[in-house]
Amino acid sequence: MKKVNRYDHEGIWTIAEIRRGKLVGVSFELLAWGRKLADKLNTTLSSVVLGSKVSRDELRELVERGADRVYLIDHEKLSVFIPDLQARILKKLVEDEKPEIIIASATTTGRTLMPYLASLLGTGLTADCTDLDVDPERRLLLQTRPAIGGNVMATIITPDHRPQMATVRPRSRRPLRREVNRRGEIIEVKIEIESLESKYKWLDFIPDETSESPIQEADVIIAGGKGMKDGKNFELLFELARLLNGAVGASRSAVDMGWIPYSHQIGLSGKTVSPRLYIAFGISGAVQHIAGMSSSELIVSINKDPDANIFRISDFGIIGDALEILPLMIRKIKNMVEGNDEVG
């Protein structure tokens, strides 16, 4: 990698995400991370939006939630996510504007786009960070993430190259409150997108029919592990999730046994979640799984093993068979919903 003059670069960028023409929640979470860093460095915070026909109200919300500037690249070719096309557009914008830090979310989109962009720019990237901070004197981004299977936390810096780039776990920080009177610029950037070709061909979007919404966005997650004993028992988890307006997650072992699709896997090799309520049924608590859900606000665990690792991070624990307790919990909640709590 070729060294650059780091003092030529200034400002923090976040990469907003679009799904089906709408900004998704991680776009606002990233601004909460970026605002903290920008204030420490006394610099500007910008959000970069690549999409098609994004509404002005949504762009304005980025300003209201912390952005000083919004760079908008609007083109019909950007109506769907095409990694190499977006990476080349961002490369041109980075070379023109020279930000010192770029942050994206560690979603499927961010994990695909950011390595591509880092390669084009000849700079470093730290993926799946759990914390970000800055050294204001050296203007270094301090990028903290799990290492060695989640057993240690490593802080990584990029001292000689710019921009400094990182992805952060979704739902690891709550969006800032909207300030309706906050001022900021919305800058429409013109790039000759028509001349850019892609190696990808968009075929179709097929939603995961086993889940109504991505588990990263759920406020309530009902998760199952090896203690569920059989894939057919996961229907009980789905029933409880429907009652609580939640989503179903799983440990890696449950996914490996074919009980539930990979899209539900939580942990270092799956999704990172931070719901308000996380209920774990029959999950022992491997460090890889805990790394993906330990930032949940309230954790309730059910496991037969009183020494299960999951209890160490749980707010409430129940020692018992998940398949005995789960039906009781479903019946109790149904009675509460139907107003027959005395029956349960």
The string of pLDDT tens digits covering residues 116-144 is 999 999 999 999 888 999 999 999 999 99
Lowest mean pLDDT among 33-47, 218-232, 287-301: 287-301
DSSP, collapsed to helix, strand or coil, labels residue 251 as coil
Burial 137-159 (b: 16+ CB within 10 A, else e): eebbbbbbbbeeebeeeeebebe
Find the farthest-apart pair of alpha carbons in the chain and give their distance in angstroms, rounded: 71
Spans of all domains in the chain: 6-195, 215-338
DSSP, collapsed to helix, strand or coil, labels residue 299 as strand
The whole-number pLDDT of residue 65 equals: 96
DSSP per-residue string spanning 116-168: HHHHHHT--EEEEESEEEEETTTTEEEEEEEETTTTEEEEE---SSSSEEEEE
Compute the average pLDDT of residues 164-192. Answer: 90
Please state the φ and ψ torsions of residue 78, each to the nearest 5 degrees: -100, 15
The whole-number pLDDT of residue 247 equals: 94
Structure tokens at 145: 């993430």
Is 34 within 8 Å of 14 (Cβ atoms)?
yes
Lowest mean pLDDT among 102-106, 111-115, 167-171, 247-251: 167-171
Q: What is the pTM of this model?
A: 0.75
Domains 6-195 and 215-338 share a fold: yes
Compute the average pLDDT of residues 57-73. Answer: 95
Closest C-alpha to 198, from 127, 110, 119, 116: 116
Closest C-alpha to 279, from 308, 320, 309, 246: 246
Residue 343 has pLDDT above 50, yes or no: no
CATH of domain 6-195: 3.40.50.620
Closest C-alpha to 187, from 68, 272, 91: 68
- The 3 state secondary structure assigned to 186-223 is EEECCCCHHHCCCCCCCCCCCCCCCCCCCHHHCCEEEE
Question: For residue range 200-242, what is the model confidence (pLDDT) as tens digits?
Answer: 888 887 766 655 567 877 889 999 999 999 999 999 999 999 9
The whole-number pLDDT of residue 8 equals: 84
Q: What does the alpha-carbon distance between residue 40 and residue 30 come to, in Å, rounded to a whole number? A: 16
Q: Name the CATH architecture for the domain at 215-338.
A: 3-Layer(aba) Sandwich (3.40)
